[in-house]
Structure 1
């Protein structure tokens, strides 16, 4: 049994799972390009302006955000030794969002188009540092903080940061800024453009590559601090680097999509159930499945009540929250049975 509460024994081989998830991603991506108020035939996808100017950048952002949040969640669950760790649940997404909102409201532009992502990264990094310190103080023996404790800490941090966002919203000098703040709170992909793709693609791709490159360190952390140290791993340095990568991925995702929760919680668990806990396969599969999950959710958001468009974050929450409750109840049941 792994530290995240899921058996390490894979049920399917990594190539089969990764190829299968890639096929699902391609199908979801293509279907999302075709579907909408105006259906675009497959042979016109490369030339139709509805696709090239409106749908394509939005769907690419959905894929990048899903991959980033799924991998970030997988990293946090391992570093905290906690199956309920997730950028949204522990407050890291809120930390990124509040910093981005403050940058919008104050009109900060010291890094040009990179100002909001940079502010979001700083907010995510500070929040993840606070959560890490609390988790460390609760678990000096390396077993990780109690899952309920981490959830409560996340709720407290999210409530505090929500108050900051409310204050910033109430004092926004212009209506356009108020609309931008509302975007961060709801997690939406409306009006995503190629400029947003340009902002997000490099940090997320680099973050994903570095995270997958850290798979060995994550596998060692699964075994506990003592075992990891005897294997030659500098545990503290590895944790800091991995959490910084998680903060980078979360911050960039929040910067272009607002706060979308549950992706980092649900997707890694689904992959572990099928594939096992080896991060060399877990992280790539989680990235692909996370991208597919958000693309499908965004397509449902656009189509289910057409012409009324739901926010992507709302659809993700509709799907993710029941799974989250199931995970909580199943953990409680295992503890009651002494498992």
Structure 2
């Protein structure tokens, strides 16, 4: 793990017509943030200078041509493009979406080449970013392809962690998508990330049912009885601490989630609605299962308030701190697994 150097934190700019630039710039307008990391923004100094004035901020940028030339103690900007961009806050614009992709592409390349240690992504508009080069439901799928990993959307706070069996999948396709193989794969990712990224030695995981009331013993759908329950039992027989399926409607209201290190939801809204209700503005989206660390705030572009200078920066700031913490945990885990004797007297 790096001792002398701060973590090099790459940032993709997201959709410039949304709130991403505002929350990113306001986060680093606090000079104390430079004590924790060396920020490297993939955009252009020309655009960021315009946005800085728009939001009446006083931060200064260090323009660089390559992430490897980043300077500690500065807010570094890799000039991915030189021309100006026509920014119209709150509008969906494919041209602006193309710049979001340019930023993401450059940041991902730097991540793969170890020029940055972690990546924090500002929100994109999933429609305007679409192109021949970016044909994905979102960041998670793109990064899984580029980093050749088995990704999992993992929404995290200090007290609540929710992973998804399926993320950006249409509701009508969920039952056919969830297979024993998928369940085993996703649970393995969560177990591994809890161990290496969050220092949980023996993860205890709750799994929510696919159907209402987990199918009521087959009365409301067969998937829980025929797919989910047998797979969880198989994993328990191997010694994994996986429990469920639990009825999703009462699981969070009863605060049962506090008894587990992580919760696995069967589909996007089943997990994200309670997560955002309980922690909105402070949660972080972490892409588990990849060889590199990527986080993002737990919200989207918020076009309805873009440009009004009123966006809440808490989730973006949390995404920065979480990326740093996870990177350090992972580096420590690598060291400990290479030198098992160091584990003595320490709880992972």
Alignment TM-score > 0.5, same fold: no
Determine which structure has greater relative contact order: mean sequence separation of CA pairs < 8 Å that are 6+ residues apart, divided by chain length: 1
Greater per-residue helix proportion: 1
Higher Cα radius of gyration: 2
TM-score range, shorter chain: under 0.3
TM-score after normalising by structure 2: 0.26
More strand by share: 2
